[in-house]
Amino acid sequence: MSKKKPKTPDNVIVRNKRARFDYELLETFEAGLALEGWEVKALRAGKAQLVDSYVLMKNGEAFLLGAQINPLDTTSTHTVADPTRTRKLLLKRKELAKILAATAQKGQTCVCTQLYWKKHLVKARIALARGKQSHDKRDTTKERDWDRQKQRILRDAVKQ
């Protein structure tokens, strides 16, 4: 019997798994992204990375920094395709105020956890986060390993 990969929803473009490991996620928001045409085409092809991305608040607006969207080979020569350009996040005023107040506190930041399709639009799931200490990361790893072992034990018990 072959191993089956966990099925991700078809609308998810890319996930930032590193954010869940490095940070304790407190509250999530859904934000729109201001993109150019070549970026949308590249996202349809799945050419995006969120590993070192974070959200920066500037002049009452939110911007996504560090997200990398690699252009396709067919991107026309008359456009300058910058893979790591700063992209504006589209949020409501109350959400912007909440994020600004939280990031002003010591130890909290805002990171992008995933990009996904919502109908024909690209949305970003961003989260307020607090950094984890190294012992917290070890606890997370230990807990994940124990969950895997429990699943194996239960699976073997059912087979017998």
| Residue 158 within any structural domain of the chain | no
Q: What is the mean pLDDT of residues 138-150?
A: 88
DSSP string, 47-68: -EE-TT-EEEEETTEEEEES-E
| Residue 154 within any structural domain of the chain | no
State how far the Cα of 17 lies from the Cα of 41, in Å rounded to an integer.
23
| Residue 87 within any structural domain of the chain | yes
The residue among 110, 142, 138 whose CA lies nearest residue 124 is: 110
Domain total of the chain: 1
| Residue 147 within any structural domain of the chain | no
| Residue 156 within any structural domain of the chain | no
State what percent of residues in the chain have pLDDT above 70.
92
> How many Cα atoms within 13 Å fall on the side-chain side of residue 135?
0
- Backbone phi, psi, residue 96, to 5°: -60, -40
Helices (H), 52-127: 93-104
| Residue 36 within any structural domain of the chain | yes
pTM attached to this predicted model? 0.75
| Residue 84 within any structural domain of the chain | yes
Q: What is the CATH number of the domain that holds 33?
A: 2.40.280.10
CB 61 within 8 A of CB 88: yes
Which domain covers residue 127, as residue numbers? 12-132
- pLDDT (tens digit per residue) in 16-73: 988 888 888 899 999 999 998 889 989 999 889 998 898 999 998 999 999 999 988 8
| Residue 143 within any structural domain of the chain | no
